[in-house]
Amino acid sequence: IYTYSALISACEKGGQWEKALHFLDLMQQRGVAPNIVTFGAAIAACGKAGEFDTALGLFEEAQRRGLKPTVVTHTAIITACHVAGKWDEALEIFDAMPARGVEPNSITYNIVIATLASTGQLKKAFELFDDMQRRGFQPDVVTYNGLITSCAEYGHWHKAADLFDELRNRDIQPNANTYTAILAACDAGGLHDKKEEVIAEVLQRGMDIIIPKHPEE
């Protein structure tokens, strides 16, 4: 079973979801029953490829077989929701985790927050952002990047700037994605002083990113 799980996991990393399903079928034809790790790898392969319905079907099939989804399994199916832009399904699966005896981890929180934020559900995203911290999980640069990017996209430019300042006050190192997101927010929202401040920081750090310019510049 470990060999098949490894093969399916390799398919996931290689973006070969159909091949992952082939190995899942093949192992059962040969009398080897998949476990939750095997199903999780297949769910991840399908989810990352945008095959949401297939991923969800595998998630439900695993439970029908009496297998208990782990936090990794839940994170895989929520990632599938994220890729497909299905925030309501992501939140439903996340909310059902305690009833299944599974506690989310920081990775699970990050992907649900990213799913909500990227689909414009910012109020719900920030509620979950607060909840993760109340439960002892500290947001990281991935958490902030998702929120800043979505605030920039949906017109909450000052909130994006506040999040950027909050990130730095927590001694979290911004990365190229952070700078790209905050500069987009500054550009769209006319936050010229903040933009100049960020550009100076980018240049000081020698970051290789595209700095947006106004038409008049």
Contact 144, 181 (CB under 8 A): no
Distance CA 11, CA 1 (A): 15
Strand, coil or helix: what is 104? coil
DSSP H helices in 85-191 = 87-96, 106-118, 122-134, 141-153, 157-169, 176-189
* In contact, 188 and 215? CB cutoff 8 Å: no
pLDDT at 208: 80
**CA end-to-end span of the chain, whole Å?**
61
What pLDDT is recorded for position 217? 46
C-alpha closest to that of 180 among 216, 141, 122, 217: 141
- Burial of 193 from C-beta contacts in 10 A (0-12 / 13-18 / 19+): exposed
Residue 12 in tokens: 């996931």
pLDDT in tens, the chain (217 residues): 778 888 998 998 888 999 999 999 999 999 999 999 999 999 999 999 999 999 999 999 999 999 999 999 999 999 999 999 999 999 999 999 999 999 999 999 999 999 999 999 999 999 999 999 999 999 999 999 999 999 999 999 999 999 999 999 999 999 999 999 999 999 999 999 999 999 999 999 988 877 666 544 4
Total residues belonging to the chain: 217
Q: What is the distance of C-alpha 179 from the center of its chain?
A: 18
Confidence at residue 214, expressed as pLDDT on a 0 to 100 scale: 55
Q: With contact defined as beta carbons under 8 Å apart, do 142 and 110 qualify?
A: yes
Sign of torsion, CA 154 158 163 164? Answer: positive
Q: Strand, helix or coil at 67?
A: coil
Task: For residue 101, give both structure tokens.
Answer: 């005896």
Contact 131, 99 (CB under 8 A): no
